[in-house]
Amino acid sequence: MIGKLIGTIDAVESNSVILMTTGGVGYKVHVTGRLGLSVGAACSLLIHTAVREDAFDLYGFQTAKEKELFLLLTSVQGVGNRVGLTILSSYDEDQIYAALATQDMSTFKSISGIGPKLATRIVTELKNKVSGLDAPLFTQTNKSAPIQTEAISALLNLGYKRFDVTSVVQRLLSETPDLSLEKLIPAALKELSSFS
């Protein structure tokens, strides 16, 4: 099994790159859209090798936590490697942990290829599993889950976008975990008003 590849980006495709190693071998590696890799860039990727009867696919990650989250997501029935990569391309790790902590199915339903049933399964199966990972924001969010849920709901009702609301509320709570709902909403509104 291939565990890690180091080399130079030779080509960039929509959801993959060709990583040219020092041995002169070019490996096609599926990556998230968040990596922002460009041709000629030096690159080191942790690899998950997926072997099937008809395919031998490599999936690359920049950090061990990202790879661990990918493997966790793909442990859910119905979440294949491509869907797992799409989730990681759509949201960062903290946003995914927070969605699991607050059982926010809409985060997953907003992703192409994930319907209501699969979104429910992801949240239900992973809520308890993810708490054992090294995920500081999850721990913080889990403690303040009722406040975060109420704040997000109130701000969404005011017409703000879910992505913006979730990002701002999560960041404010990560900076000040003991923030009350009465102080959280005005602080979030102040930041959100600058987005428009």
CA–CA separation, 187 vs 177, rounded Å? 14
pLDDT above 90 covers a percentage of the chain that reads 39
CA–CA separation, 24 vs 127, rounded Å? 43
Is residue 94 domain-shared with residue 127, that is, in the same domain?
A: yes
Is residue 119 domain-shared with residue 154, that is, in the same domain?
A: no
Is residue 148 domain-shared with residue 194, that is, in the same domain?
A: yes
Higher pLDDT, 101 or 196: 101
Instruction: Tell whether the model's pLDDT for residue 141 goes beyond 50.
Output: no
Is residue 68 domain-shared with residue 52, that is, in the same domain?
A: no
Sign of CA dihedral 174, 175, 176, 180: negative
> What would the mean pLDDT of 30-51 be, rounded to a whole number?
90
Is residue 126 domain-shared with residue 100, that is, in the same domain?
A: yes
CATH number at residue 56: 2.40.50.140
> What would the mean pLDDT of 102-120 be, rounded to a whole number?
89
CB 100 within 8 A of CB 126: yes
Higher pLDDT, 137 or 104: 104
Instruction: Tell whether the model's pLDDT for residue 135 goes beyond 60.
Output: no
- When divided into structural domains, the chain yields a total of 3
Domain that holds residue 54: 4-62
Amino acid letter for position 117: K
Highest mean pLDDT among 110-114, 118-122, 147-151: 118-122
pLDDT above 70 covers a percentage of the chain that reads 91
> What would the mean pLDDT of 18-47 be, rounded to a whole number?
90
Is residue 127 domain-shared with residue 154, that is, in the same domain?
A: no
Q: What are residue 49's DSSP bridge partners?
A: 58
Q: Report the candidate in 188, 194, 120 with the shortest Cα–Cα distance to residue 154.
A: 188
pLDDT at 136: 47
CATH number at residue 75: 1.10.150.20
pLDDT at 139: 46
The span from the first CA to the last CA of the chain, in angstroms, equals 48
CATH number at residue 160: 1.10.8.10
Q: Quick one: tokens of 67? A: 């790879």
pTM of the full predicted structure?
A: 0.68
**Of 114, 135, 156, which marks where a domain is finished?**
135
Is residue 14 domain-shared with residue 52, that is, in the same domain?
A: yes
